[in-house]
Amino acid sequence: MTSARFAVLGVCLLAASVMTRATVADENFDLQTFLASNELEPVRSPDRVESQPVEVIREPAEPGRLGRWVFRRLPEPLPLPGPVMAELSSLLLAAESYLPAYKFCGFQPVIAFRFWRGPDAIDVLICFKCSELAFEKVGTQSNLGRKIPFDPSRAKLARLVRQSRPDDQTFKDIK
């Protein structure tokens, strides 16, 4: 067998391995159950929601972790108006907002929505580069569930991000 054939065979085996890992990851994660879980109660019926730009301070250090994110201090968090808050909650909790897939992408969130219900809070970290989002319980630095591709709802989510931060140039061109 020539070296070119070995190279092609190697690429095929690598692709099959990646596809298998993606399938296994999806089999272990039930989106419907996750979206209906009590953990997401702050998203389901928030007292208030704030938007906040996010900067990555380091890449994920271990498998299964989203890593550590730092919230920019300026501009300050902005509260969402009631209609935007309600639409965002509905969109994030609808299974049809997501793809039944698992992406291998360098997750780099640019904005977070913090959903408050009493003293409990959930951050929804959004990466428009990958079209993925993640839910994280505030104070734990660990993700709930896994990163979820939001391709079907990308346009609606981008519109809500722009509405949540109308004067922030960073988000004007998100498509």
Identify the pLDDT of residue 15. Answer: 40
The amino acid sitting at 25 is: A
- Taken in order of first residue, the domains within the chain and their CATH numbers are 30-171 (3.30.1490)
Two structure tokens written together for 109: 């969130």
Higher pLDDT, 106 or 154: 154
Identify the pLDDT of residue 103. Answer: 82
Query: For residue 160, what are the contacts with CB-CB under 8 A and spacing of at least 6?
Result: 84, 87, 88, 91
For the chain, list the strands marked E by DSSP.
48-56, 69-71, 78-79, 111-117, 120-127, 132-137, 143-149
pTM of full prediction above 0.85: no
Identify the pLDDT of residue 46. Answer: 97
Average pLDDT over residues 16-41: 66
pLDDT in tens, 82-141: 999 999 999 999 999 999 887 888 888 889 999 999 999 999 999 999 999 999 998 776
Q: How far apart are CA 76 and CA 70, in angstroms?
A: 13
Say which range, 68-72, 76-80, 93-97, 103-107, has the weakest mean pLDDT: 68-72
